[in-house]
Amino acid sequence: MIQIETYQDEYFEEIITLLVSSFESKFCHRQSLSVIDIKNLLSILWDLSAKDESLLHFVAKEEDKIVGDILIQCDKPHKNKGQQRIPLYDLIRKYGFFNMMLLIYKLGILEVFKHDNCYIEHIAVDETMRGRGIGDMLLSHAEAALKERGCSSLSLAVAKENPARHLYIRKNFKEVQYLNSRFKGYFLGINEWILMKKSLN
Ligand SMILES: CC(C)(COP(=O)(O)OP(=O)(O)OC[C@H]1O[C@@H](n2cnc3c(N)ncnc32)[C@H](O)[C@@H]1OP(=O)(O)O)[C@@H](O)C(=O)NCCC(=O)NCCS
């Protein structure tokens, strides 16, 4: 049975594994790093905390295994964010300057957070569990929590060809902007993106 729970810091490594496998083509695009290198780097670079009140973060669990994850930025990023000490020099020596900068850049390239609006940073479900309603459950749970928090709208960016669009349309997200960016194409391997938005009122 699938249960939706609030994210806890002890889930960090499992979430990284889920995200890297779900977004492997984007993480690996133009990057001469192995999947293991990318996971190692993310676990050092990603300043994710269950205590961060600017985020809403839920996981889907089947027994003890994490099978889905949704992360929503609700307010401006936490003011202490980014203050952890990152051993940049050592990382650059190990993984190379270009790989490091590219990965850091990719992590921020699709951020379209606006102050009047909550934004889905990511949603992902384990590849073997897709199509069984877990993505829908994560979205419904997050929307209920957002309403309780007084948020009036929720937005996201999705690649034009991503079948996830069907899920968002079914959940009443509307397409509000089309982006055709060679710049994003260069860094992520996908030029065409759609911004979608849903009113929570
Ligand atoms: C998008 C995603 C989270 C949906 O999770 P899910 O548990 O499969 O979603 P549900 O079962 O609730 O709904 C399935 C819907 O998602 C769409 N979908 C997208 N990818 C799918 C996949 N690989 N298998 C089945 N359905 C998929 C289907 O079109 C379906 O819509 P429909 O029921 O209207 O036909 C999941 O497919 C995923 O992790 N994809 C890879 C990461 C990703 O692209 N995330 C979205 C970034 S914007």
- What is the Å distance from ligand 1's center to 135 Cα? 6
**Most confident stretch, 92-101, 114-123, 128-137, 188-197:** 128-137
How far apart are the C-alpha atoms of 175 and 195, rounded to whole Å? Answer: 6
**124 in ligand 1 pocket by Cβ < 6 Å?**
yes
DSSP assigned state of 9: G
At 78, the pLDDT band (50, 70, 90 cuts) reads low
The set of residues, in sequence order, having a beta carbon less than 8 Å from that of 75 and lying 6+ positions away, is 53, 54
Percent of all residues in the chain with a pLDDT value above 90, rounded to a whole number: 72
Residue 113: is its pLDDT beyond 60?
no
Domain ranges of the chain: 2-152
How far apart are the C-alpha atoms of 42 and 107, rounded to whole Å? Answer: 9
At 187, the pLDDT band (50, 70, 90 cuts) reads confident
Token duo for residue 15:
């979430």
**163 in ligand 1 pocket by Cβ < 6 Å?**
yes
Structural domain 2-152, CATH architecture: 3-Layer(aba) Sandwich (3.40)
At 110, the pLDDT band (50, 70, 90 cuts) reads low
**171 in ligand 1 pocket by Cβ < 6 Å?**
no
- What is the Å distance from ligand 1's center to 26 Cα? 17
Which of 167, 169, 184, 194 best tests ligand 1's pocket when mutated (most atoms within 8 Å of CB)?
167
Please write the tens of the pLDDT for every residue from 118-157. 999 999 999 999 999 999 999 999 999 999 999 999 999 9
How far apart are the C-alpha atoms of 46 and 122, rounded to whole Å? Answer: 14
At 87, the pLDDT band (50, 70, 90 cuts) reads confident
